[in-house]
Structure 1
């Protein structure tokens, strides 16, 4: 038995050795560049991604490893000055690949107190001697081409295979065309690649052609954001990566041997935002009664979040729970989802007759047994009890509740918009504070804005009655909600809101 055990241990050790050796022998695809290759930490913060975060999905990662060493804000010069290139160089082994893309930041000042990252234009041997105002070091600055050539030559000295890319195009348009950089950094990148006899990927021109085929309206807001003409969304990063892959397929570079025939591209899952409330939030299929939840997506980054409007006309906090509408939402909740909760308009209704939708006033634990129209019994709780239930059960699912007070009606006692600040707004705030969740006093914020706009303008917002807004009023309220979320401290949802304050 001892001999058998020793034999088995030897076999396992040999298998492990062979496995780790194979792993070590796998070539690595290294990427060096700026934020268009890796934005931030590469986690999609702000919805921005670099193509280096997605190119691995096009490659057979059972045969190659992927390491994205790009850093936002760097130029071909500062990437090396900061020691980032040496980190890659020290790891390189024969057969590895190095994808190189710089240029976006090389056009900055050569010497200043802010970034000091610019390079001399061109590919020549000119130099500029400076006392760097930022680093406080004496420095000799070279041309863009000199720095790219240095990376290429040092990679080749390790037996690695450099691939030079021209910088991604910016989402700038002139007469339906995307400007190229084929007389500057794109040209100089190609010249260095040709001189060193390495693969050149004309990412700038080929991606610009793809963008032009899609058209400006389809590109902006999908592949790039309106707020940023340089950095891509996840879809834009995939587009950039696909251009590189297609160019590699047409090259004689051996990296093409690792390209998957049918890659499955996985984009980040959208974060879900659920809206629960009444007709002032809901889609009522009525042009004269449009809830703000209908127009709210216009102020959100819907490439990253999905707005699911579960608000229902005529509902109070009580009936939304009693009819099973809350359970329907609750059962769909996932960790990280958001739930926007707004009730109050219908909670003041009759408790034990007619629509049977009123809740008990306040935030206490009082109850009232009610006989419904069909003869069944219902235990009715306070408004605050129902709101607490929604909040706690959402949190149990890992979701993040945001409580809003109800929208104000178009009523002007004493020339001031009616508030109900001493009832449902007050109770909404009390529950939000007690449960330590985000709160937006929508009632007060909108009322103040109405008073600034004046009665005549606000009257246009209410084409049907004094409670329900039309399209213009819904837009007004939705924008107010978006602005209010944007102001919430430490609320992750504000990163998905697209309004300027």
Structure 2
């Protein structure tokens, strides 16, 4: 029996050794570059990704490993000076691959107190000797081409295979075309690759071609963000990676044997923002009564976040709770979701007659028992009690609540829009403060905009009545809500807002 146990252990040890040997012998695809290859920590913060974060999805990772060592803010010079290239070089083994893409930051100052990352333009051997103001070190600065060539030669010295890419294009347009860098960094990268007889991928030009096929309107807001013309979204990063892969297929580089025949590109799961409220927020299927929640997605990065509008016309805090609408939303909430809460227009109704939607005034704990038409008893609470319940239970689910005061009605007195500063706006803010939620006084902010536009213009926003906006009014309110969210410094939802 003892010999059998020893034999079994030996087999397991041998299997483990063979598996480890196979794993260690797998080629590794390394990437070195700037933030367009790996943005931040490579986790999509702010919606920005580098192509190096997606290229692995095009490769058979059962046969190759992928390591993205790019770092935002680096140039070819500083990537080497910071020791980042040495760290990669020390890991290289025969048969590995190294993607090299620099250029976006090489055009900076050679010597300053901020970044000191610039390189000498071109591919020559000229140098500039400096006392680096930033690092306090004496340094000899070389040309862009010199640094790229150094990386290529040292990669080859390890038996690894370099692949040089020109820098991805920026989302700048002139007369429907994307400008290329074929006279600068794209050219110099190509010249060095040709000199060293290694694979060159003109990512700058090839991606620009794809962008032009899509058109500026489609590219901006989907593949790049309006606020950033350099760094790509997840879709943009995947597009860059696909361009590289397509160029590899047409090359004689051995990496192409590891390409998947039919890759399935997975994007990060979308976060969600839920909206709960009444008809001033809801999708009422009525062009004369458009809730601002209908237009709100226009100001969100819907490639990363899904707007779920659960607002319902005619509802108060009380009826939203009593009818089970709140439980329906609450059961869908996941940690990290956001929820916008706005009520007040219908809470002023009768408590015990007509539509049975009025809540008790204030923020207290007082209650009123009523008998409903079907004979059922209902305990009615205050407006603030219901608001606090929504906030508290959302937080218990790990969601992030944002309370907004109600949108103003088209009611004027002495050229001033009617406010509800002593009632529902006040109680909304008190509930938010009590439960530790974000608060936006949308009523006041929109009212100020209305007053600046004037009564005549604002009248066109309300085609149906003094409460419900049409499309243009809903658009203004949605934009104002988005602008206000973007100003919430500690609220993560601001990162999903785009204009």
Q: Aligned equivalents of 2:134 and 2:388: distance in 1?
A: 54
Shift of 1:462: 2.2
Q: Aligned equivalents of 1:318 and 1:148: distance in 2?
A: 66
Per the alignment, residue 206 of structure 1 pairs with 206
Per the alignment, residue 258 of structure 2 pairs with 258
Q: Which moved more, 1:197-206 or 1:4-13?
A: 4-13
Shift of 1:42: 0.8
Per the alignment, residue 171 of structure 2 pairs with 171
Q: Aligned equivalents of 2:416 and 2:206: distance in 1?
A: 59
3-state secondary structure, aligned to 2:345: coil
Q: Which moved more, 1:236-245 or 1:426-435?
A: 426-435
1:347 matches 2:356:
no
Shift of 1:178: 1.4
Q: Aligned equivalents of 1:102 and 1:417: distance in 2?
A: 56
Q: Aligned equivalents of 2:117 and 2:345: distance in 1?
A: 58
Q: Deviations over 1:186-212 (max 9, x none)?
A: 111111111111111111111111111
Unaligned runs of 5+ in 1: none
Q: Aligned equivalents of 2:383 and 2:450: distance in 1?
A: 27
Q: Aligned equivalents of 1:18 and 1:344: distance in 2?
A: 68
Which structure 2 residues correspond to residues 418-497 of structure 1 after superposition, within 5 A? 418-497=418-497
Q: Aligned equivalents of 1:483 and 1:219: distance in 2?
A: 23
Shift of 1:32: 0.2
Q: Which moved more, 1:189-198 or 1:453-462?
A: 453-462
3-state secondary structure, aligned to 1:261: coil
Per the alignment, residue 21 of structure 1 pairs with 21
3-state secondary structure, aligned to 1:67: strand
Shift of 1:284: 1.6
Q: CA RMSD in A?
A: 1.5
Shift of 1:386: 1.6
Per the alignment, residue 99 of structure 2 pairs with 99
Per the alignment, residue 385 of structure 1 pairs with 385
1:215 matches 2:218:
no
Q: Deviations over 1:237-265 (max 9, x none)?
A: 00000111111111111111111111111
Determine if contact 2:97/2:162 at 8 Å carries over to the other structure: yes
Kindly tell me the number of residue pairs found equivalent between the two proteins: 499
Unaligned runs of 5+ in 2: none
Q: Aligned equivalents of 1:413 and 1:189: distance in 2?
A: 68
Per the alignment, residue 367 of structure 1 pairs with 367
Per the alignment, residue 323 of structure 1 pairs with 323
Q: Deviations over 1:293-319 (max 9, x none)?
A: 112122222221111111111110111
Shift of 1:378: 2.4
3-state secondary structure, aligned to 2:417: coil
Per the alignment, residue 115 of structure 2 pairs with 115
3-state secondary structure, aligned to 1:466: coil
Q: Aligned equivalents of 2:39 and 2:89: distance in 1?
A: 22
Per the alignment, residue 136 of structure 1 pairs with 136
Determine if contact 2:282/2:312 at 8 Å carries over to the other structure: yes
Shift of 1:414: 4.9
Q: Deviations over 1:170-190 (max 9, x none)?
A: 111222221111222111111
Q: Aligned equivalents of 1:487 and 1:217: distance in 2?
A: 26
Per the alignment, residue 183 of structure 2 pairs with 183
Q: Aligned equivalents of 1:441 and 1:179: distance in 2?
A: 44
3-state secondary structure, aligned to 2:20: helix
Shift of 1:120: 1.5
Q: Deviations over 1:100-150 (max 9, x none)?
A: 001111112222222221111211111122222222222111111111010
Q: Aligned equivalents of 1:434 and 1:407: distance in 2?
A: 22
Per the alignment, residue 310 of structure 1 pairs with 310
3-state secondary structure, aligned to 1:251: coil
